[in-house]
Every structure is written in structure tokens, then in C-alpha cells.
């Protein structure tokens, strides 16, 4: 199967279906419980989650109002439960969004790396920590966003762990494709169906975890390639070459926890 065939807009039913409209990707499954690491994150139950593209030069700080405006403009406010869903922001156009499905899991991703966050294994040891005021960049400068959902009903810890599994898969894929584990503004939303088959664990050795790793890998890789295909822009060679790149060159002190005799 060719990349074009893999990226074709599906007409097949998927458990977490998605549509793109006016720069917004809506991922929908009724009564889903979501856990988001985004700007207004945490747990909530809603029918939908969103990935919203912002324009170049975007500088809004009233994020809640902005998201509401974008969802209304896209016509996603007919059902109040839709609006309650978690939303992620990105500088990547939703035309570059890609989805993947395997087993009980569906994942969607957008990927741009104009703001890479490098993590060298041999840091320079510069004792001056980065100034977070200057390092944090708005999502208009890139971002890798992932929305992943399973039809299983996950225990609270398993849903939290699904975020970790998705993040690991995202980082591994990005390292392979770009040399960076992520950007300064990456975010993940993970969802499950509380009415589905009860599942206690979601680690890499479970059906849910393995499916999540596969879906995130395929979706992120396809989204990254879609974003950079036929563009003059390329993935930066290093964090220093990127306008908004950062590298964690500080070296933390390592110590051994003390042993307490009983």
C-alpha cells in the first residue's frame, strides 16, 4: 500500500470518528472520558475532543474564548456536550492531520517541528537553567499533538498510563524521523469508553498499549511527512538552527537515596 493510499480519507467507520472543518479537527465518540495534557487539561467526560489550528503570528492569550470562537465558526456548537470537550492548539494545518486505527484504538496526529526540544545524552553541563519565560513558545510555532482513544473501559491508572504510552510512542517516532523527541509545546489527549470491556492495565505489553503504540507511530509519522511534503520548510538539523528550538544542556546532580535501617 502506498503512502497516498494510507493517507486517503477513510469512509470506513472507526470507533473514534473525525471530521475536519475550518481548521478544526473534531474527534467524536459519545460519553468518552478524556484525559488531556493540554492548556485546560485534566479529566472530563464529553462526546468530542478537538485539535485547533492557529494562524501564523497568533498571539491570543484568552484561550478559552478563542477555542469557543473557533468551534462556533466551524459549526461544532450545536450540542453543548461537544463544546465541553478538551481542545489542543497547533500551528500545523489540519489538512496535514492523519489518523490510524488498530484493534480497540484510534489515534490522530498533527506534527510540525519548528520548535524542537532536544535532550542530549551528553549535556554541556551549563549550570544556568533555561529561562522558561523565554523558552516557552505559543503553539503557532509547531507542535506535535496526539488524540488517542480506545473502546475499552480503562481503570483510572490505566487511562493515565495510556498518556505515557502514547508519549513514548510519539517520542520514539519523532527521534527516528527527525532526531528530536518532541517540541516545546506537544500535548496528548487520551480517551476511553466507560461502557466498554473493563481493562486494568494499558502498558506496552497489553493489547491496548500495543495498539496505542502502533497507532501513534503510524499517525505521527504520516502527519509529519504530510506537513513537510512539497514545502520549502524542512525539519531543522539541530535545536540551535531552529528559530524556537531549545536544548536541555543542564546536568542534574545524581545521588543515591539513603538506606534507613529498621
Q: Are 150 and 14 in contact (CB under 8 A)?
A: no
DSSP letter assigned to residue 48: E
Q: What is the mean pLDDT of the chain?
A: 89
**Structure confidence at residue 204 (pLDDT):** 97
**Structure confidence at residue 240 (pLDDT):** 84
**Structure confidence at residue 59 (pLDDT):** 86
Do strands 105-112 and 87-90 pair parallel, antiparallel, or not at all (unpaired)?
unpaired
Decide: pTM greater than 0.85: yes
- Give, in order, the Cα–Cα distances in Å from 141 to each of 28, 113, 170, 183, 242: 27, 8, 18, 10, 10
pLDDT digits (tens, 9 = 90+) for 42-63: 999 999 999 999 988 888 889 9
Confidence grade of residue 233 (pLDDT, cut at 50, 70, 90): confident
pLDDT, greater one: 225 or 127? 225
User: Mind listing the domains of the chain with CATH numbers?
Assistant: 3-247 (3.60.70)
**Structure confidence at residue 1 (pLDDT):** 42
Distance separating alpha carbons of residues 98 and 120, to the nearest angstrom: 29
Amino acid at each position: 500500500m502506498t503512502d497516498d493510499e494510507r493517507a486517503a480519507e477513510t469512509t470506513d467507520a472507526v470507533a473514534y470518528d473525525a471530521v475536519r472543518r475550518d481548521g478544526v479537527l473534531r474527534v467524536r465518540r459519545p460519553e468518552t472520558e478524556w484525559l488531556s495534557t493540554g492548556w485546560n487539561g485534566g479529566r472530563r467526560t464529553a462526546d468530542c475532543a478537538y485539535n485547533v489550528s492557529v494562524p501564523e503570528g497568533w498571539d491570543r492569550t484568552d484561550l478559552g474564548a478563542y477555542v469557543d470562537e473557533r468551534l462556533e465558526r466551524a459549526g461544532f456548537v450545536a450540542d453543548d456536550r461537544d463544546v465541553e470537550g478538551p481542545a489542543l492548539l497547533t500551528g500545523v494545518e489540519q489538512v496535514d492531520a492523519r489518523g490510524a486505527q488498530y484493534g480497540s484504538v484510534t489515534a490522530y496526529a498533527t506534527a510540525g517541528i519548528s520548535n524542537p526540544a532536544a535532550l542530549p545524552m551528553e549535556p554541556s553541563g551549563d549550570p544556568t537553567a533555561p529561562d522558561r519565560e523565554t523558552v516557552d513558545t505559543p503553539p503557532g510555532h509547531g507542535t506535535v499533538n496526539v488524540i488517542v482513544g480506545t473502546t475499552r473501559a480503562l481503570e483510572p491508572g490505566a487511562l493515565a498510563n495510556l498518556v505515557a504510552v502514547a508519549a513514548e510512542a510519539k517520542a520514539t517516532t519523532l527521534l527516528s524521523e527527525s532526531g528530536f523527541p518532541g517540541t516545546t509545546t506537544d500535548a496528548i489527549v487520551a480517551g476511553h469508553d466507560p461502557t466498554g470491556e473493563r481493562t486494568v492495565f494499558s502498558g506496552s505489553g497489553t493489547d491496548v498499549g500495543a495498539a496505542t503504540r502502533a497507532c501513534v507511530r503510524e499517525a505521527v509519522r504520516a502527519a509529519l511527512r504530510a506537513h513537510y511534503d512539497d514545502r520549502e520548510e524542512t525539519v531543522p538539523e539541530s535545536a540551535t538552527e531552529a528559530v524556537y528550538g531549545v536544548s536541555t544542556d543542564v546536568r542534574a546532580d545524581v545521588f543515591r537515596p539513603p538506606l534507613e535501617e529498621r
